[in-house]
Amino acid sequence: MKTYHLITLLILLLAGRAFAQGASYGHPANEPNDPKVVQSAKVPSTIADLKFSRLARDKEGNTKAELNNVLINEGSFYFKLRLSNRSSIPYDIDFIRFYIRDLKAAKRTVTQEEEVYPDAVFGQESASIAPAGRLMKIFRLNKFTLPDDKALFIELYEKDGARHMSLEVSRSDIEDARTVR
């Protein structure tokens, strides 16, 4: 595991931002029953029914995370993630993290990260992907813009495992967000 992954994981654990299985993927201050964080609610049908066209993907072992095109509706971004597990070992999701980070950093400089919290999560309640199974989740984030030198990163961490995946969403991907009604 790379050093920055270990440092990030330690920071998350110390800050109390690592969520237990079954907890919300939203801001840690939100309780699972908080009306702002919607688990397994109905997503607008036009977003749920859109054909999946891959924007970014990461493959770690026999697990894969894919991101659909970024969608925008009524001032909110929708990120549609498709997670698949082709291994014989279940993939238990510990937490999913969204943050904005510098793209390039010179040596010995500090990189700045700003965590972004989804205000709603749509899809299956399961926090585990069965062997040879798939899981689809849609995350709603409030609108934001990115400067040229930053990108949005989505990280998925496996509970008690090492199959962590990371997706990068560039500024142009955000600016080219597809408007859905």
Considering 49-53, 126-130, 154-158, the range whose residues carry the highest mean pLDDT is 154-158
Res 87 pLDDT > 60:
yes
Domain boundaries, the chain: 3-179
Cα gap 70→28, rounded to integer Å: 24
What pTM does this model have?
0.69
Joined tokens for residue 8: 């990030």
Cα gap 93→143, rounded to integer Å: 26
> Tens digits of per-residue pLDDT, 140-159?
999 998 988 899 999 989 89
Least confident of 37-41, 74-78, 135-139, 148-152: 37-41
The CA R_g of the chain, rounded to the nearest whole Å, is 16
Query: How many other CB atoms are there within 10 angstroms of residue 3's CB atom?
Result: 7
Cα gap 88→99, rounded to integer Å: 31
CA angle 109, 113, 114 (to 5 degrees): 150
Residue 109: predicted pLDDT:
73
Options 2.60.40.1150, 2.40.50.100, 3.40.50.300, 3.50.50.60; CATH for 3-179 is 2.60.40.1150
